[in-house]
Structure 1
Amino acid sequence: MEVEVGNGGNGEEEVPNWGTSLPVESVQEIVRKDPFNVPEKYIHDLDCIQNDVVLPQLSSDIPVIDLSLLSVGDEVELQKLDMACSDWGFFQIINHGIEGQILQEVKDIAAKFFELPIEEKKKYSMASNDVQGYGQVYVVSEEQKLDWADLFILVVYPTKFRKSIFWPTSPPEFIKAIEEYSSEANRVAKELFSSLSILLGMEKDSLLKLHDEVMQAMRINFYPTCSMPDKVVGVSPHSDTSTLTVLLQDDEVTGLQIRHSGGWIPVKPIPNALVVNVGDVIEVLSNGKYKSIEHRAMTNESKVRMSIASFICPQDDVQIEPLDTMVDGAENMPRYKRMRYGDYLRYSLKTKMDGKSHTNLIKLEDE
């Protein structure tokens, strides 16, 4: 497979920037220096954590979709997808066709990157005007509480948007592993697009065409252990600005939680399965039938956790609004404005994670 990294914006077309984030200290390094040190800026309001209701008994209720059935038009599986998107906003997919070796290799290569000395990782630090690279996102003030995680972000597709300065040459297999997995995650998302198009009352290829050319960003999340896991949050509650998010979880450690049934439900890993969630774009297109759901990541005292999220999004200039098929006169009036996707994405990245507050920008005032 030929691997294309890109020229970092030195060609004919300028590579856009999507946002900025203030630089912060590596959490991994904080723990390495002193495993018992939890700086005050990471300690969240205890009422937001300890008083939350966690409902592990409902984990098994999170829908599981068989993509091999969905992709051949199985009507029962299609209705399961409809229920998953309308009732949960999250589901796990099995039989997705990605070889176990590819899944393991991308996990291994991500782990090797975070095992590098901090001086090596800093070579790929986010620029002051971009969110690609090694660092943190949604840090907009010196006063805000921080998440107990380090991140590495790359824009993978379209390849013309790749910036070579952020693609590590060490470990040497990094680019190949990221490319192989991202290509497969892209395929999975597009197969889901076909089924969602049908559920949204359109032709199978309509959702893909609406995106102009799918944009895909990868975020590798590294959650170090924490001596006070009940006082920190790995990733603060939020919904995703994407159309869909495809997540590869750690098979051994549960950390992802979704808001449902008045509490937080842990998403227990199914080996080699992928977690998919509805993003804000689908919520808008479906006129609220399918909602992007708040989710968060929690930490633990004994095991490092990693996950790899692929955000599937439209191009900047795509206008998003409720589809005609989802608006039905007075009984189902549009609930969202028409907006350029790039403007919505950049607005979100300028604010700290705060549940679904960023979606107020695109909601109509009477909603």
Structure 2
Amino acid sequence: MTWALPTAVHTFCSQLDASPRQREVIEMYAKAVHELSMDLAGKLAQSMGSIRTDLFEGWPCQFRINKYNFTPETVGSTGVQIHTDSGFLTILQDDENVGGLEVMDKSGTFVVVDPEPGTLLVNLGDVATVWSNGRLCNVKHRVQCKEATIRVSIASFMLGPRAEAAVEALAELVDSEHPRLYTSFSYEYYRKLRQSTKLHAGEALELVRVQPSH
């Protein structure tokens, strides 16, 4: 669901056959998380030295509910393989009762992220790495099956510029000492590149890296 668009939220609720109260809650949640993602992105831009307030205007966003049916046979296995998110920023409301999320630290070791009631988790994706000219790190993560039960999480993705607009480094972050690390591309191009190459853990960024001149 593209949760920045009211029509998409209404369609999503209709597909779920949501009751009036459920529809109200979903609409309130979608609006609040969209505002939060825009606020976080704006603060990141300010921290990078940008004074523009329209940088992320119109960027498409998506909303997904993940449901895992873990069985005794799947305990100890991987529910979601190691990956990075392709977009800019992800806000995750994890299952408050069932753990399993793990993120990779700089040493390559996976760190368990235990569920914490009342909190949200923020991930940065591949687009954030390109946009920041390598200053922001995309986060490798996975979900492990810890127990035989149902696990539910809600992920809200802020993807990248709309249509054919370019994903590229912020101008303030490119100079003679910090040359552009990645070529410009559309988010749709990069999404298809990840799918076609099956490189889902950030490796596809190497395919859009600027080649050094000789």
Aligned residues: 209
Decide whether aligned partners of structure 1 residues 362 and 243 sit closer, same or farther in structure 2, where only a CA change above 3 A counts. Answer: same
Code of the residue aligned with 1:175 in structure 2: it is: R
Cα distance in 2 between the residues matched to 1:350 and 1:161: 28
SS in 1 for 2:133: coil
* Paired position in structure 1 for 2:65: 220
Cα distance in 2 between the residues matched to 1:351 and 1:221: 24
Code of the residue aligned with 2:178 in structure 1: it is: N
Code of the residue aligned with 1:327 in structure 2: it is: V
Code of the residue aligned with 1:156 in structure 2: it is: W
Does the 8 Å contact 1:258/1:295 carry over to 2?
yes
Decide whether aligned partners of structure 1 residues 345 and 231 sit closer, same or farther in structure 2, where only a CA change above 3 A counts. Answer: same
* Paired position in structure 1 for 2:86: 241
Does the 8 Å contact 2:129/2:137 carry over to 1?
yes
Displacement of 1:169 after TM fit?
4.4
Cα distance in 1 between the residues matched to 2:62 and 2:52: 24
* Paired position in structure 1 for 2:175: 328
Correspondence for 1:287 among 133, 158, 166: 133
Displacement of 1:176 after TM fit?
3.0
**TM norm structure 1:** 0.52
Report whether the alignment pairs 1:170 with 2:17: yes
Cα distance in 1 between the residues matched to 2:13 and 2:96: 27
Correspondence for 2:48 among 200, 208, 218: 200
* Paired position in structure 2 for 1:300: 146
Code of the residue aligned with 2:102 in structure 1: it is: Q
Report whether the alignment pairs 1:185 with 2:30: no
Displacement of 1:218 after TM fit?
0.7
Does the 8 Å contact 2:74/2:148 carry over to 1?
no
Displacement of 1:321 after TM fit?
1.1
SS in 1 for 2:32: helix
Cα distance in 1 between the residues matched to 2:36 and 2:101: 21
Displacement of 1:233 after TM fit?
1.6
Task: Point out the structure with the larger strand share.
Answer: 2
Aligned-residue CA RMSD in angstroms? Answer: 2.4
Does the 8 Å contact 1:212/1:315 carry over to 2?
no
Cα distance in 2 between the residues matched to 1:303 and 1:165: 26
Does the 8 Å contact 2:38/2:56 carry over to 1?
no
Cα distance in 2 between the residues matched to 1:167 and 1:345: 28
Code of the residue aligned with 1:253 in structure 2: it is: V
Cα distance in 1 between the residues matched to 2:130 and 2:93: 25
**TM norm structure 2:** 0.86
- Name the % identity: 28
Rg (Cα) greater in structure: 1
Displacement of 1:178 after TM fit?
2.2
Displacement of 1:351 after TM fit?
5.0
Cα distance in 1 between the residues matched to 2:169 and 2:127: 9
Correspondence for 2:56 among 200, 211, 233: 211
Q: Deviations over 1:127-184 (max 9, x none)?
A: xxxxxxxxxxxxxxxxxxxxxxxxxxx2222346679388424242543332211111
Q: How do 1:1-367 and structure 2 match up within 5 A?
A: 154-159=1-6, 164=11, 167-173=14-20, 174-203=22-51, 205=53, 209-229=54-74, 232-260=77-105, 261-313=107-159, 314-329=161-176, 331-350=177-196, 352=198, 354-366=200-212
SS in 2 for 1:156: coil
